[in-house]
Amino acid sequence: MAKRNRREDEVDVPVDIDWDELRAAATEAMERAYAPYSRYRVGAAALVSDGRIIQGCNVENASYGVTLCAECGLVSELHMSGGGQLVAFVCVNNDGETIMPCGRCRQLLYEHALPGMLLETVSGIRTIDEVLPDAFGPRDLEEVAR
What does the CA dihedral 126, 31, 59, 26 come to, rounded to 10 degrees?
Answer: -20
Q: How far apart are CA 120 and CA 140, in angstroms?
A: 26
What does the CA dihedral 111, 113, 116, 117 come to, rounded to 10 degrees?
Answer: -130
In the set 60, 71, 77, 120, the catalytic residue is: 71
* 71 belongs to the catalytic site: yes
What amino acid positions are annotated as catalytic residues?
71
